[in-house]
Amino acid sequence: MDRRQETLIRRLAENHRLETEEYAALIRERDPESAALLAELAVAERRKWYGDAVYTRGLIEISNHCRNDCCYCGIRRSNRNCDRYRLTPEEIMSCCEEGYGLGFRTFVMQGGEDGYYTDDRLCPLIREIKARWPDCDVTPSLGERSRESYARLRAAGADRYLLRHETADPDHYAALHPPEMSFQHRMGCLKDLRDLGYQVGCGFMVGSPGQTAEHLAKDLTFIEKFQPEMCGIGPFLPQKDTPFGGEAPGSGELTCFLLSVIRLIVPRVLLPATTALGTLDPFGREKGLMAGANVVMPNLSPMSVRQEYALYDNKIATGEESAQSRDRLAERVRNAGFRLVMDRGDCARSE
Ligand code: SAM
Share of the chain above pLDDT 90, in %: 94
Distance 15 CA to ligand 1 centre (A): 31
Model pLDDT, residue 135: 96
User: Tens digit of pLDDT for each residue in 295-342?
Assistant: 999 999 999 999 999 999 999 988 888 888 989 999 999 999 999 999
Distance 73 CA to ligand 1 centre (A): 6
pLDDT value at 6 more than 80:
yes
Model pLDDT, residue 348: 84
**pLDDT average, residue stretch 259-288:** 97
Model pLDDT, residue 1: 86
DSSP assigned state of 253:
H
Distance 38 CA to ligand 1 centre (A): 27
**pLDDT average, residue stretch 85-89:** 97
User: Tens digit of pLDDT for each residue in 154-179?
Assistant: 999 999 999 999 999 999 999 999 99
pLDDT value at 351 more than 50:
no
Distance 311 CA to ligand 1 centre (A): 7
Atom number of ligand 1 nearest to Cα 163:
5
**pLDDT average, residue stretch 57-75:** 98
Closest Cα partner for 71 from 245, 327, 206?
245
Distance 66 CA to ligand 1 centre (A): 11
Q: Does the beta carbon of 237 sit less than 6 angstroms from any atom of ligand 1?
A: yes
Model pLDDT, residue 29: 96
Q: Does the beta carbon of 64 sit less than 6 angstroms from any atom of ligand 1?
A: no
Model pLDDT, residue 350: 56
Q: What value does the mean pLDDT of the chain take?
A: 96
Element (H, E) at 71: none
Q: Does the beta carbon of 139 sit less than 6 angstroms from any atom of ligand 1?
A: no
Q: How confident is the model at residue 145 (pLDDT cuts 50, 70, 90)?
A: very high
Element (H, E) at 199: strand 199-206
Q: Does the beta carbon of 160 sit less than 6 angstroms from any atom of ligand 1?
A: no
**pLDDT average, residue stretch 108-114:** 98
The answer to whether the beta carbons of residues 43 and 290 sit under 8 Å apart is: yes
- pTM for this model (two decimals): 0.97
Contacts of 350 (CB under 8 A, 6+ apart): 268
Model pLDDT, residue 24: 98
Q: Whose CA is nearest to atom 19 of ligand 1?
A: 73
Q: Is 198 exposed, middle or buried (0-12, 13-18, 19+ CB in 10 A)?
A: buried
d(CA 209, CA 41): 30
**pLDDT average, residue stretch 130-151:** 97
Partner residues linked to 139 by β-bridges: 108
Q: Does the beta carbon of 163 sit less than 6 angstroms from any atom of ligand 1?
A: yes
